[in-house]
Amino acid sequence: MGSTTFPRRGLPPPPRIDELAARGLALRDAGEADAPFLQALYAGLRPDEMAFMAWPQALKDAFLADHFRLQHHHFVSHFSGADFWIVRTGVKSTVGRFYLDRSASLWRVIDIGLAPDARGQGLGSALLRWAQAGARDAGAAGIDLHAAVVNARARSLYQRLGFRPEGAAEGYHQRMAWRPR
């Protein structure tokens, strides 16, 4: 687990953080100590796939640990200028991760993921709306993200928030972008 490190670059603090606080949300930089939480969160994002695999639990755990490690390595090496935030609420503290790259004109949601018992309460919408407000303030070209083609619920949320498909689906994922008027 020692490889779960994050780049430290002294990025500008997240804008409009008081608006998130008003929604009972807070962000802090992820760190190595968050690895157990992040790994459990990752496992919780893939329960359906795992349910189909007739593997012993130990093999599933090893598979998920490996994939988490590879995904983490990909994120921090390809998006070394990004913010890697842990999402917190006043009630249950650590509830998710929100990885946002503000280093290019078109911002990128690298990942947004909440623990199962934190979903469906408006937190994801609040985070994305907050990022949209920040992008508008910063004069960014917009925000894009990749949604799994099979994740119809997430895609419908993005659609409601003004994200539209751009280009053809790339294998398992569809790029969607929101652009301020």
Ligand X SMILES: CC(C)(COP(=O)(O)OP(=O)(O)OC[C@H]1O[C@@H](n2cnc3c(N)ncnc32)[C@H](O)[C@@H]1OP(=O)(O)O)[C@@H](O)C(=O)NCCC(=O)NCCS
If one asks whether residue 67 binds ligand X (CB under 6 A), the answer comes out as no
Written as one string, the DSSP assignment of the chain is -TT-------PPPPTTHHHHHHTTEEEEE--GGGHHHHHHHHHHT-HHHHHH----HHHHHHHHHHHHHHHHHHHHHH-TTSEEEEEEETTTEEEEEEEEE-SSSEEEEEEEEE-GGGTTSSHHHHHHHHHHHHHHHTT--EEEEEEETT-HHHHHHHHHTT-EE-SS-BTTEEEEEE---
If one asks whether residue 43 binds ligand X (CB under 6 A), the answer comes out as no
Q: Report the residue number, 76 or 114, with the smaller CB distance to ligand X.
A: 114
Q: Report the residue number, 17 or 43, with the smaller CB distance to ligand X.
A: 43
Q: Report the residue number, 82 or 112, with the smaller CB distance to ligand X.
A: 112
Q: Report the residue number, 36 or 122, with the smaller CB distance to ligand X.
A: 122
Q: Report the residue number, 175 or 179, with the smaller CB distance to ligand X.
A: 175
User: Which residues is 174 bridged to in the sheet?
Assistant: 147
Candidate ranges 3-11, 31-39, 48-56, 108-116; the one touching ligand X (CB under 6 A): 108-116
If one asks whether residue 153 binds ligand X (CB under 6 A), the answer comes out as yes
Candidate ranges 4-12, 25-33, 84-92, 119-127; the one touching ligand X (CB under 6 A): 119-127
Distance between CA atoms of 70 and 76, rounded to whole angstroms?
Answer: 10
If one asks whether residue 124 binds ligand X (CB under 6 A), the answer comes out as yes
If one asks whether residue 156 binds ligand X (CB under 6 A), the answer comes out as yes
Least CB distance to ligand X at residue 125 (A):
3
User: Which residues is 27 bridged to in the sheet?
Assistant: 87
Site residues (CB under 6 A) for ligand X? 45, 112-114, 119-125, 147-148, 151, 153-154, 156-157
